[in-house]
Amino acid sequence: MKKIVVLGMGLCVALAFSSCKSSESAYKKAYEKAKQQELAEAATNETPAETTVTPVAPVAPVTTTPAPVQTAPVREEKVELVSGNGLKAYSVVCGSFGVKANADGLKNQMDAEGYDAKVVYNAEKNMYRVIVESYDTHTEASAARDAFKAKYPDRKDFQGAWLLYAK
């Protein structure tokens, strides 16, 4: 009796392993077939190169004027100065952090780069903002923000610099 049970279990295990392999093989075959079909379609969609040359009218140079800096959006927030010297109405924000130590780290880095960086706190949003420059007018701040972004083209975090109007 024990021999029959063991033999039955062995047969079940053998069937289970053999059935998995066949379905794996079926998936592989279907994948291979789809890949070949995709390659065949790509080959038939290719168009041969044109041998005729058509004359092209000369292109007149287009002079583009940069967008006026006054259009730079401004966020209006109530903030208090945490560290750094005086804060003016419009500021260029280069980083926002939920942890003060992170804001202080970026402030120190910006100070080392030659900026007079400041850290301000927005209690409503519980965020520390790192300000690299602060101005009385929107126009000056917009130009400074554009210059800051141009100075660091490879820093994606600095490309998100924005203007803050301190209430």
Predicted confidence (pLDDT) at residue 48 exceeds the cutoff of 50: yes
pTM of the model: 0.57
Domains of the chain and any CATH numbers: 72-166 (3.30.70.1070)
State the pLDDT at residue 26: 72
The residue ranking higher by pLDDT, 57 or 107, is 107
Mean pLDDT of the chain: 80
The token duo for 35 is: 């890949």
- Cβ distance 74 to 165 under 8 Å? yes
CA distance 35 to 116: 59
Task: Show Cβ contacts of residue 76 under 8 Å, excluding neighbours closer than 6 positions.
Answer: 164, 165, 167
